[in-house]
């Protein structure tokens, strides 16, 4: 993919930093099939470009980092291939994007400038570092909208915040403030929104002064412990696509899109 063909993201490389911005602010930067393909492509470009030492992932505007999968693109069976236009014919491959973030041997910073929700929350969780603005809001929504990332989304989160907290976050689908996220070890630093970009640039400058090979080895070494989860992640995304075919999953999606209360009562076994 040629980056001039990107429609859903902005991609800019400057002074050693690759800035990847999800550019769908009208839907709180929700990702559709095409967005995920473009993000994965940009991470691949950043991986192999020797001029890039650090990657920053963020969302356009001042309201959201990312609100996860685009529920309006999702139908019975998952996110509709092709809905994003002629270049997005393959099914959504979130697992490939997660892999790209984890396996690029360069630090990835999530610059969280608002809502990091659902699959958008998982993206920041998988980044090496998270810097957030004071107005940032964190949370999972899967069990409310008929979805779940049972791969890295559950397992890696538990490594960050502990089992009890991770279960609370996933089961209750509550939202957490930036201050709460900092207290539970979910983010590295919180700054006023007006200072976020400058703070991220400062962290980038410090990272760019370090030995790239030492950073790559450190990242890959950290990854080894959780890499067994990669197999689980593939399995989890296959299972998720089967779950998406059920009426139960569609009830969650439909309730969000129709802006009505959800009712899962009849699916209790
Ligand atoms: C993000 C949040 C909390 C923001 O709330 P608020 O009140 O600030 O905005 P509002 O009015 O909800 O959203 C503004 C517009 O963006 C759309 C909304 O439908 C609304 O559109 P209009 O009414 O103006 O037409 N929008 C927001 N998020 C969207 C989304 N994800 N898909 C499609 N349209 C979206 C609030 O908007 C929220 O809770 N959003 C939904 C979060 C969510 O449930 N995400 C999906 C989780 S599942 C997932 O991401 C996933 C997975 O579990 C496994 C694999 C792949 C993905």
Where residue 255 sits, what CATH number does that domain have? Answer: 3.90.226.10
The pTM score is 0.96
State if residue 128 touches ligand 1 by the CB under 6 angstroms criterion. no
Is 51 part of any domain?
yes
Is 268 part of any domain?
no
State if residue 114 touches ligand 1 by the CB under 6 angstroms criterion. no
Rama region for 173: left / alpha / beta (φ>0; ψ in -120 to 50; rest): left
Is 54 part of any domain?
yes
Atom of ligand 1 nearest to the CA of 115: 1
pLDDT of residue 25: 98
Sign of CA dihedral 41, 126, 120, 107: negative
Strands 17-22 and 9-14: antiparallel
CA distances from 62 to 21, 35, 240 (A): 12, 19, 31
Across the chain, which has 269 residues, the per-10-residue mean pLDDT values are 87 98 98 97 98 98 98 89 56 95 98 98 98 98 98 97 98 98 98 98 98 98 94 95 96 98 95
**The domain containing residue 109 runs over which residues?**
3-195+209-263
pLDDT of residue 221: 98
For residue 269 the two structure tokens come to: 């076994």
State if residue 39 touches ligand 1 by the CB under 6 angstroms criterion. no
How many angstroms separate the CA atoms of 160 and 166, rounded?
8
State if residue 117 touches ligand 1 by the CB under 6 angstroms criterion. yes
pLDDT of residue 120: 98
State if residue 151 touches ligand 1 by the CB under 6 angstroms criterion. no
Is 231 part of any domain?
yes
Total domains in the chain come to 1
Ligand 1, atom 18: nearest CA belongs to which residue?
A: 27
> Which of the listed residues 27, 34, 121 should we mutate to test ligand 1's pocket, taking the one with most ligand atoms within 8 A of CB?
27
> Which of the listed residues 92, 113, 115, 118 should we mutate to test ligand 1's pocket, taking the one with most ligand atoms within 8 A of CB?
118
Is 204 part of any domain?
no
Q: Which residues partner with 253 through β-bridges?
A: none
pLDDT of residue 82: 55
Is 213 part of any domain?
yes
Is 125:152 a contact under the CB 8 Å cutoff?
yes
Is 169:147 a contact under the CB 8 Å cutoff?
no
Neighbours of 256 (CB within 10 A): 16
Is 17 part of any domain?
yes
pLDDT of residue 83: 52
Is 203 part of any domain?
no
**Which phi and psi (to 5°) does residue 67 adopt?**
-105, 20
Q: Cβ-count burial of 224 within 10 angstroms (0-12 exposed, 13-18 middle, 19+ buried)?
A: exposed
């Amino acid at each position: 993919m040629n980056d001039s063909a990107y429609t859903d993201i902005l991609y800019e490389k400057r002074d050693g930093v690759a800035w990847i911005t999800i550019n769908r602010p009208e839907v709180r930067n929700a990702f559709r099939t095409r967005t995920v393909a473009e993000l994965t492509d940009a991470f691949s470009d950043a991986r192999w470009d020797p001029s890039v030492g650090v990657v920053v992932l963020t969302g356009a505007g001042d309201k959201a980092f990312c609100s996860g999968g685009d529920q309006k693109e999702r139908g019975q069976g998952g996110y509709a291939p092709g809905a994003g236009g002629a270049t997005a014919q393959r099914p959504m491959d979130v697992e490939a994007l997660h892999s790209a973030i984890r396996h690029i041997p360069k630090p990835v910073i999530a610059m969280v400038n608002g809502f990091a929700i659902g699959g958008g929350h998982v993206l920041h969780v998988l980044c090496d570092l998270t810097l957030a603005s004071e107005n940032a809001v964190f949370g999972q929504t899967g069990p409310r909208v008929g979805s779940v990332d049972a791969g890295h989304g559950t397992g890696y989160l538990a490594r960050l915040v502990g089992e009890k907290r991770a279960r609370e976050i996933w089961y209750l689908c509550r939202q957490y403030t930036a201050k709460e996220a900092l207290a539970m070890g979910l983010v590295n630093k919180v700054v006023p929104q007006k200072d976020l970009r400058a703070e991220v640039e400062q962290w980038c400058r410090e990272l760019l002064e370090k030995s790239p090979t030492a950073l790559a080895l450190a990242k890959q070494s950290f990854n080894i412990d959780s890499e067994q989860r990669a197999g689980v992640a593939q399995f989890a995304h296959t299972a998720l696509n089967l779950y998406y075919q059920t009426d139960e999953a569609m009830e969650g999606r439909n309730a969000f899109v129709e802006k009505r209360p959800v009712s899962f009562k009849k699916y209790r076994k």
